[in-house]
């Protein structure tokens, strides 16, 4: 069975792992996944991630982040733009998620950015996902 949406698979793995209180997860590697994980790490939603290269297959190990009392750092993570229906937005029309407590992750001409970085650079793009 082939996978049509690897980003949705990554987000589901993160969501399920945090519900199960796992400390780390593994998934197949791709450039877009690494770019999204860079944004999540920069914004403080995950601890870190490592790219592990085997002979011909590489995968990503993600260390998840929890608060002192055991609550996950990511309360909600959802895919917005899907392969069948892409969602684009100019940065002026993009409002803050959860009153700017959450973020949108955008794919822009300058790379994958959070909505805060996209606001500072004044560029819009495809809304990949939303995180709170």
pLDDT in tens, 27-41: 999 999 999 999 999
Helix (H, G, I), strand (E, B) or coil at 104: strand
- 43-52: pLDDT as tens digits: 999 999 999 9
Q: Name residue 58's beta-bridge partners.
A: 53
Q: Is the pLDDT of residue 113 over 70?
A: yes
Q: Where are the domains of the chain?
A: 6-131
What is the model's pLDDT at position 55? 87
DSSP H or E run through 38: helix 31-42
- How many Cα atoms sit within 13 Å of 58 on the Cβ side? 11
Count of Cβ atoms closer than 10 Å to residue 57 Cβ? 9
What is the model's pLDDT at position 117? 96
Q: Is the pLDDT of residue 2 over 60?
A: no
Please give the class, per CATH, of domain 6-131: alpha beta
Q: How confident is the model at residue 115 (pLDDT cuts 50, 70, 90)?
A: very high
What is the model's pLDDT at position 3? 74
- 64-89: pLDDT as tens digits: 999 999 999 999 999 999 999 999 99
């Amino acid at each position: 069975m082939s996978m049509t949406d690897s980003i949705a698979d990554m987000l589901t793995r993160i969501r399920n792992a945090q519900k199960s209180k796992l400390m780390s997860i593994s998934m197949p590697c791709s450039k877009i996944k690494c770019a999204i994980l860079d944004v999540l790490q920069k914004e403080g939603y995950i601890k870190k991630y490592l790219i592990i290269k085997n002979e011909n297959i590489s995968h990503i190990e993600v260390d998840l982040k929890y608060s002192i009392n055991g609550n996950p750092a990511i309360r909600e993570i959802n895919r917005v733009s899907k392969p069948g229906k892409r969602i684009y937005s100019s940065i002026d029309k993009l409002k803050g998620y959860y009153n700017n407590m959450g973020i949108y992750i955008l794919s822009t001409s300058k790379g994958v950015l959070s909505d805060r970085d996209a606001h500072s650079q004044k560029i819009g793009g495809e809304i990949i996902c939303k995180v709170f």
